[in-house]
Amino acid sequence: MEHISISSLASFIWSVADLLRGDFKQSQYGRIILPFTVLRRLECVLEATKDNVLAQAEATKALPENAREKLLLNAAGQNFYNASPLNLNRLGENNTGDNLDAYVRAFSKDAREIFEHFNFVNTIYGLDDANILYQVVQKFREVDLSPDTVDNYHMGLVFEELIRRFAESSNETAGEHFTPRDIVRLTTSLVFSGDDAALTKPGVVRSIYDPTAGTGGFLSSGMEYLKEINENARLATYGQELNPESYAICKADMLIKGQDISNIKLGNTLSDDQLEFERFDYCLSNPPFGVDWKKVEKRINDEHKLKGFNGRFGAGLPRVSDGSLLFLMHLISKMKPVSDKSEGSRIGIILNGSPLFTGGAGSGESEIRRYILERDLLDALIALPTDMFYNTGIATYIWVLSNHKPAERKGKVLLINASDMHSSMRKSLGSKRKFLDDDAISTIVDLYSRYEQSPIAKIFNTTDFGYRRITVERPLKLALYPHDAERLNSLQQQNAWAKLADELQQGILSALAAMPQDKYLSRDGFKKAFTKAFAAASTSKLPAPVIKLLLSQLGEQDDTAEICQTKGEPEPATELRDNENVPLNEDIDVYFRREVLPHVPDAWIDTSKTDPLDGKVGLVGYEIPFNRHFYQYQPPRSLGEIDADLDAVAKDIMQLLAEVHS
């Protein structure tokens, strides 16, 4: 089929919408048209073996369901069947709804489940109530979707076109379940392009997986890409989807394309991985941006604690408000290890900006980035333009990961800034105002394939994104003020003060009043003077916590004061404690002498704070400040230009005022 035929066929099918107008909302059209399209396609595919199936159905009535199902599938010559003598031509004008319901229920389990998740029975009786069911059935029975007329590949393209129209007609919610085709195409091309040579071999078989399958866009795009470079290659598709309607669309799409639909699962991938023991050649995903995982928090925490690196989340857990990195870790767990039987795996995942930098050293996010970079899994990051998705305009990034990088890429990461490579859409679809045309996609893939530096492509070492967070201490130097009225008042407002006996309180205040100096620049000198004054003012015993209370309320850090020491070592001033992020590929002592000591000569590094994984001083962290690496300084305009603009504005204002008064 030519491209125009695909478009024409899709348009003809979508023209059913003309019958629906007035009785149904535009956003509901796809929920009616898609399952009817699936039904007509399955009916056409099964037509050649219909008589065999009906004969087998009659002959096997008494058999157990499992045994009967195998015989019926064999009779159909497909991985689905329908055991009803009905079809769209035989439903009749009377009782059309009941007959259609019975017809759909006669499909084999996997095919029947598609219609159940479309809530097709509600669609049938909704159309019946509107008195247009028979007309819709008539419209679909006119469409020839037999395999001789439309093969699996082109039928898949037609169905994808219908899905796209559905997405656009319901664009207020589309972003939750549909990834725009330009983004799908780019991500797929990036992930597959690294393996083009391997994929052109005869008889190649590969697997592709999407844990957030939506309506199956990535799975379809993978099949399309592979067909373009190798007609004889086979791609086995696997996926899991949370939303029942999207799951039904995905499963229907895979069924139409001749895939084994038992590999498409329904459920929450993070808490209930239904393909737990499977590993895949290619993984592609566009998980929801910034969605919290509170509902499945216990399951994920348990897996993290109990399984560690034997599970999916051993590296760490992100904050509960954003589960994006959980999907990335899940995909990494699905990679095939490189061996004699496998060349390894590649991943393409679309994430928002926060996974690049959220969380400091030691946080779950940082530890996940560390795990990825220290294992040299990250191959490239591509910044996309804003306003690319149906339901959000935020900045997004494609992460490309591989566990079989070529030699020249080992230990490297390529950043591509494609944020300005967009075209404007003639008509916005929700928040989607921009798209990537074929030239832009080709340019980005070419930049990735060449792996060379350019103004919008930069190559970094994996260690360039790492740092050690060292703790910088400065000595405690206390000045104490025993006669300061404000500090004395604050002292008496403390809970610890209220717990002291009245006699003891009076003794302390008397001793402070009797101290000879207004200001002490030595903590030890203050203690001695106070102890002596208290002994003269009171017969009470002086509890040790009292001195601590006085020091906290009457003292303040003062660079002119004497350094406070314990066992001959300077004590750190907690309020002056600071952290420095030292680049991972730099010696911390050299950095400290250059960057810190010239400004605070009495500072030191707390060497007791070490990284739990490598035991060295400083906590290791990783972040990828993408925008910083592509920042271009824009000099401010000259004062002359600014003055000229102000003069022009002032003239405009004066002219407007003159018109008002004239």
Interatomic CA distance for residues 35 and 26, integer angstroms: 16
629 and 558 within one domain = no
350 and 254 within one domain = yes
Mean pLDDT of 508-524: 95
Mean pLDDT of 346-366: 95
In one-letter notation, the amino acid at residue 193 is S
137 and 257 within one domain = no
Radius of gyration of the chain (CA): 35
465 and 485 within one domain = no
508 and 400 within one domain = no
Could you give the number of structural domains in the chain? 3
Q: Please report which residue ranges of 24-175 form alpha helices under DSSP H.
A: 29-46, 50-59, 65-76, 96-105, 109-117, 120-129, 133-141, 152-169, 171-174
258 and 118 within one domain = no
275 and 399 within one domain = yes
Give the contacts of 365 (CB within 8 A, at least 6 positions apart).
316, 318, 319, 325, 354, 355, 358, 359
We report the CATH number of the domain holding residue 151 as 1.20.1260
Question: pLDDT digit string (tens) for 237-258?
Answer: 999 999 888 898 899 888 888 8
Domain boundary among 169, 184, 201: 169
Domain boundary among 169, 192, 209: 169
In a domain, residue 1? The reply is: yes
We report the CATH number of the domain holding residue 396 as 3.40.50.150
Note down the domain range covering 490: 478-570
190 and 162 within one domain = no
In a domain, residue 558? The reply is: yes
pTM (2 decimals)? 0.84
433 and 290 within one domain = yes
In a domain, residue 384? The reply is: yes
403 and 492 within one domain = no
Domain boundary among 535, 554, 570: 570
Question: pLDDT digit string (tens) for 176-225?
Answer: 557 888 899 999 999 999 888 778 888 888 999 999 998 888 998 898 88
Q: Which of 426, 390, 395, 396 is nearest to 217 (CA)?
A: 390
In a domain, residue 295? The reply is: yes
Label residue 92 left, alpha or beta by phi (over 0 means left) and psi (-120 to 50 means alpha). left
Mean pLDDT of 631-636: 75
516 and 490 within one domain = yes
User: Is pLDDT above 80 for 167?
Assistant: no
In a domain, residue 213? The reply is: yes
In a domain, residue 647? The reply is: no
Question: pLDDT digit string (tens) for 596-619?
Answer: 999 999 999 999 999 999 999 999
311 and 270 within one domain = yes
Mean pLDDT of 97-114: 93
Q: Considering the chain, what is the average pLDDT of its residues? A: 91
In a domain, residue 583? The reply is: no
In a domain, residue 650? The reply is: no
